[in-house]
Amino acid sequence: MTAPPRLLYLAFFFPPSRASGVYRSRAVANHFTRAGWDVTVLSGPVDHFTAASSGLDDALAATVDPSVRVVRPAFEGAPPAGWTRLLPRPLRAAADPMRRFGDFPEKYAGWSGNALREGLRLHGEHPFDLVLATGNPFSAFAAAESLGRRAGLPYVLDYRDSWTLDLFTNKPAFPEGHPSYQWEADFIASAAAVAFVNEPLRDWHAKRYPDAAERMSVVPNGWDPDVMAEAAAEPAPAGIVRFGYIGTVTAQQPVIRMAEGFRELRSRDLAFTPRLHLHGHLGYFADSAEKLQRKLGIGPFLSADEPDPDLIRYEGPVSKTAVGEVYARTDVLVFLAGGSRYVTSGKIFEYMATGKPIVSVHKDGSAAEEYLEHYPLWFKPESLEASRVAEALERAAEAALHPEPELTAAARAYARRFTRDHAVESLERQCRDLLDSDR
C-alpha cells in the first residue's frame, strides 16, 4: 500500500484565529486531507491571536478535520539583530542565507525562524513531500524557501494577499529599493508553483517576474457549504425589508457612503420600511473598533442607543458557523468593499450562495465585478452618491419583496460553481502533479 503524500502547510492564521485568511487555510487543510494527504500545519500560537485580535472563533476550529496535525511554533517578534537569533545555535549557520538581503522586513519574522526550526525537526522525524505556504504574513514564504532549500523539498506559495502591491492604491507597497522586492523575487524564482486569488493579481506578478510566469496560476476564493447550511428563511415583519452586511468593517471600505445612501433611502416615500444591520468585527485587532469609530465617525450610527435604533444597527461579530442563520433573516445583502480591481473579497461568493439580491457599495472596477456581472440579482449604483446608492437599494428591496423563483434558482445555481472545495481542488491537483513529475 502506497503511503499518503505528506504536506507541511505554513499558515500563520489558522483556526481558531478569526483573521480573514483562516477560511482559505481551513479549506486547504481539510481538502488536502480528504484528497488523501497527510497534513501538518504550522500555525501561529493561540495566545497571540487572543492578545492581538478581537477574539477567537472556537466553533470554526471545531470544523478542522481531526486528522490534520496542527503545530504552533512560538511567536516572539523579530529581534533588531535579525530573525536568525531565535534559532538554536546549531541552526544559525544553516539559516544565514536568509539574511542575504539584511533582516527580513516583517514583524512576523520571529515566528518564521521558529517555524523553520520546527519544520526541520518534523521533517527529520518523518519526511515531508512538499511545503505549501500562504501569505500573509509573508514570513511563511521565508520559512518555506529555507525549508525547501535545506531539505530539498519543492515548495508552493499561495498569495491570498499581495506583498509588494498596495491593493487599495494600485501602486507598489514599498519605495524603490526596499528589501521586500529582493526577498519576493528570490522566493518566487525558486518556488515550484505560485498561486493568486484572481487574474489581475496573477497578471501583475507575471509582468514583474516574467521568468516565473508559467508557474503562476489562479486559485480563487469561494464559499464553504459546510458552514453555510441553508437555514429556513425567517419572514420579516410586515412592511419591513431587512438589509444586511456580514463581514469585517474596515477603514478602507466606503462605510460613510453606505450610511448616507441608506439614510437617503429612509427619507423617501416608500411602500416599505428599510432596516440595515451590520454583522461582524470592527477591524481585525483588539484596538481596531475604537480607532475605526473615531476615524470614520461611525460611532453614532453604529449604536443601538440612538433615537431610532432600527435605522442602522451594529449587531457585533458572528461566528463563521452561524452565518447561515444571519443570512436567513436578511432580505437584501449589501456588498461593502474597499480596494480595487485586485481585490475580489471572498465574502462575495458567500453572498451569491444565498440567492438573494446583492447591492454593491464600492468603487468601480473591483475584481468582484467579474463574478457579480453574471449574478442575476446584482444591483449596482451608478456612483457612490447618496441618491444613486439609495436607488440601487430600493430596486433590490423591490426584488426581495416580489421575488421571482426562476431568478432565485438561477442565482443559486450560478453560485454553486464557486464553492471553496472547487477552487482548492485545482491547488491540490497542482501539488500532486508536482510530486508525480519528480518521480
The per-residue DSSP string of 47-66 comes to HHHHHHBS---HHHHTTS-T
Query: Which of 24-33, 135-144, 294-303, 350-359 is the least confident region?
Result: 294-303
Per-residue pLDDT at 217 exceeds 90: yes
In the predicted model, what is the mean pLDDT of residues 22-41?
96
Q: What is the mean pLDDT of the chain?
A: 85
Residue 91: pLDDT band with limits 50, 70, 90: very low
The shares of helix, strand and coil residues in the chain, as percent rounded to the nearest 5, are: 45, 15, 40
Residue 248: pLDDT band with limits 50, 70, 90: confident
Per-residue pLDDT at 425 exceeds 50: yes
388-398, pLDDT tens digit by residue? 999 999 999 99
In the predicted model, what is the mean pLDDT of residues 415-438?
92
Residue 15: pLDDT band with limits 50, 70, 90: very high
Per-residue pLDDT at 281 exceeds 90: no
Per-residue pLDDT at 90 exceeds 60: no
**pLDDT (0 to 100) of residue 339:** 64
In the predicted model, what is the mean pLDDT of residues 354-377?
92
Instruction: Work out the number of other CB atoms within 10 angstroms of the CB of residue 371.
Output: 22
* Residues of the chain above pLDDT 70, percent: 84
> ∠ at Cα 343 (245, 110), nearest 5°?
100
For residues 225 and 357, give the distance between their C-alpha atoms in angstroms, rounded to a whole number: 19
| Number of Cα atoms under 13 Å in the Cβ half of residue 166 | 9
Q: How many residues does the chain have?
A: 439
What's phi and psi for 88, nearest 5 deg? -60, 150
pTM: 0.85
130-168, pLDDT tens digit by residue? 999 999 999 999 999 999 999 999 999 999 989 999 988
Q: Residue 20 carries which DSSP code? A: T
**pLDDT (0 to 100) of residue 213:** 98
Query: Which of 2-16, 66-80, 341-355 is the least confident region?
Result: 66-80
**pLDDT (0 to 100) of residue 94:** 43
402-414, pLDDT tens digit by residue? 999 999 999 999 9
**Dihedral sign computed on CA atoms, order 171, 201, 32, 247:** positive
Give how far Cα 403 sits from Cα of 357, 377, 411, Å.
9, 10, 12
For residues 422 and 415, give the distance between their C-alpha atoms in angstroms, rounded to a whole number: 11
For residues 387 and 301, give the distance between their C-alpha atoms in angstroms, rounded to a whole number: 19
Give how far Cα 27 sits from Cα of 23, 63, 132, 183, Å.
6, 10, 13, 28
For residues 134 and 21, give the distance between their C-alpha atoms in angstroms, rounded to a whole number: 9
**For the chain, which domains are there?**
6-222+419-438 (3.40.50.2000), 225-417 (3.40.50.2000)
Sequence-distant (6+) residues with CB within 8 A of 79 are 85, 86, 110
**pLDDT (0 to 100) of residue 287:** 60
